[in-house]
């Protein structure tokens, strides 16, 4: 455990830090410093789990309020203080699903989604409407090996009992692989530090049995594919590889990798965040370059900051959410 007080907090605040105290939001280092100076009693003796890089840390104030402190490069980026203690237990679920028959993760007015199935399961269990929150809003047809979801429940079952109950209630294309109680301020989506996506390619003959789990392509130069994949790493403006308008298209890709087993290839992308369709557009362009059908490089396409030459999107069935990093 680490202990924080008004002095240690203000000394480690990032310039663009944000803070939420109950329903009040304070933005910027100076504004937060001023708030702490006028309300020092709130910030005396805040105990959170010990620092580990840029992980979000959870704990309590000496007054018994909930506390969450987020770090990046040892600076405090985010503080949340909540005086109201919830009556329910918050659980973190690890979820896997075959996305073939889902219209994505997020609940929609029409169409079956992963979130709507989970909401139905827990609402039926609780006998009142229950909302589950997910880490990633995967699109129609996209699969997940390890999606993370949180839900609040009045029940305090053991892990084994929870898994038994959920196994009985989940449909065949959706399963909960793990469940654990977490701090009440844990948020599956907002506390994410990074994600890992994988895209599966079949470089040989079309396999009808795997048609909903991979993209079949031919005449691919794997050496060039891997070389271009490496250039995705780093911090870039990914406007050329995103669908729709977003004010901030800058993302950091920490790691990429090409994994090959016989005629199957997996392209691995690990980053702090991904824009809509970003991985699928990147994969489409990587394949075109590796087939010799696109003479531009990934670096040149990034520099364009335009979808003019990146219109093709890889199909959803080859994409997997592999991991969520906290």
Interval 266-293: pLDDT, tens:
999 999 999 999 999 999 999 999 999 9
Q: How confident is the model at residue 72 (pLDDT cuts 50, 70, 90)?
A: confident
pLDDT of residue 229: 98
**What pLDDT score was predicted for residue 1?**
81
Quick one: how far is CA 105 from the chain centroid?
A: 12
- What is the separation of C-alpha 48 from the centre of its chain, rounded to a whole number of angstroms? 23
Task: Work out the average pLDDT over 316-323.
Answer: 98
Q: Residue 263 — pLDDT band, cuts 50, 70, 90?
A: very high
Average pLDDT value for residue range 211-231: 97
Instruction: Share the mean pLDDT of the chain.
Output: 96
Is pTM, for the whole model, over 0.85?
yes
Average pLDDT over residues 172-178: 98
Q: What angle do CA 10, 77, 34 make, to 5 degrees?
A: 35
Q: Return the domain boundaries, the chain.
A: 2-82, 89-182, 194-325
pLDDT at 51: 47
The reported pLDDT for the residue numbered 247 is 79
Q: Which residues contact 289 (CB under 8 A, 6 or more apart)?
A: 224, 225, 228, 296, 297, 298
Assigned architecture for domain 89-182: 2-Layer Sandwich (3.30)
Terminal CA-CA length for the chain: 18
Q: Which CATH number fits domain 2-82: 3.30.2020.30, 3.50.50.60, 3.30.930.10, 3.10.450.50?
A: 3.10.450.50
Task: Spell out a b/e string for 274-293, using b for 16 or more CB atoms within 10 Å of the CB, else e.
Answer: bbebbbbbbbbbbbbbbeee
71 strand-pairing partners: 76
Quote the pLDDT of residue 55: 77
Model confidence at 49, pLDDT cuts 50, 70, 90, reads confident
Check for a shared fold between 89-182 and 194-325: yes
Q: Of 310, 299, 207, which Cα lies nearest the Cα of 262?
A: 207
Both structure tokens of 138: 């995967």
3-state secondary structure of 37: helix
Mean pLDDT, residues 204-216 taken together: 97
Per-residue model confidence (pLDDT) at position 197: 99
Q: What is the CATH number of domain 194-325?
A: 3.30.70.660
- Catalytic, 139? Answer yes
Q: Is 31 left (phi over 0), alpha (psi -120 to 50) or beta?
A: alpha
Instruction: For residue 152, give the nearest of 82, 59, 84, 86 by alpha carbon.
Output: 86
- Please compute the mean of the pLDDT values over residues 176-205 and round it to a whole number: 97
**Least trusted range by pLDDT, from 52-66, 139-153, 155-169, 269-283:** 52-66
Beta carbons of 75 and 13 less than 8 angstroms apart = yes
pLDDT at 73: 83
Residue 50 has what pLDDT?
Answer: 62
If pLDDT is split at 50, 70 and 90, which confidence band does 249 have? very high
Distance CA 44, CA 58 (A): 15
Look at 161 and 110; give whichever has higher pLDDT.
Answer: 161
Q: Which of 47, 124, 139, 221 is catalytic?
A: 139
């Amino acid at each position: 455990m680490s202990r924080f007080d008004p002095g240690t907090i203000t000394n480690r605040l990032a310039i663009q830090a944000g803070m939420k105290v109950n329903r009040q939001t304070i933005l910027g280092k100076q504004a937060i410093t001023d708030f702490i100076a006028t309300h020092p009693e709130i910030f005396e003796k805040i105990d959170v789990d010990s620092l580990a890089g840029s992980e979000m840390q959870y704990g309590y104030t000496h007054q018994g309020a909930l506390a969450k402190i987020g770090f990046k490069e040892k600076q405090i980026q985010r503080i949340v203080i909540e005086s109201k203690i919830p009556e329910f237990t918050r659980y973190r679920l690890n979820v896997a699903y075959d996305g073939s028959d889902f219209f994505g993760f997020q609940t929609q007015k029409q169409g079956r989604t992963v979130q709507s199935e989970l909401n139905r399961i827990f609402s039926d269990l609780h006998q009142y409407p229950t909302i589950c929150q997910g880490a990633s809003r995967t699109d129609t047809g996209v699969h997940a090996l390890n999606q993370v979801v949180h839900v609040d429940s009045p029940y305090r079952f053991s892990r084994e009992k929870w898994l038994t109950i959920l196994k009985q209630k989940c449909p065949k294309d959706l399963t909960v692989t793990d469940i654990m109680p977490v701090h009440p301020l844990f948020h599956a989506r907002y506390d994410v530090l990074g994600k890992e996506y994988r895209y599966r390619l079949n470089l040989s003959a079309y396999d009808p049995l795997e048609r909903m789990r991979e993209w079949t392509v031919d005449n691919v130069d794997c050496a060039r594919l891997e070389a271009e994949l490496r250039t995705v790493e780093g911090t870039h403006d990914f406007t050329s590889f995103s669908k729709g308008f977003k004010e901030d298209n800058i993302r950091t890709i920490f790691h990429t990798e090409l994994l090959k087993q016989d005629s199957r290839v997996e392209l691995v992308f690990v980053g702090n965040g991904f824009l809509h369709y970003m991985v699928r557009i990147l994969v489409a362009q990587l394949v075109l370059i590796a087939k010799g059908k696109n003479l531009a490089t990934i670096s040149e396409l990034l520099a364009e900051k335009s979808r003019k030459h990146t219109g093709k999107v890889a199909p959803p069935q080859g994409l997997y959410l592999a991991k969520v990093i906290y």
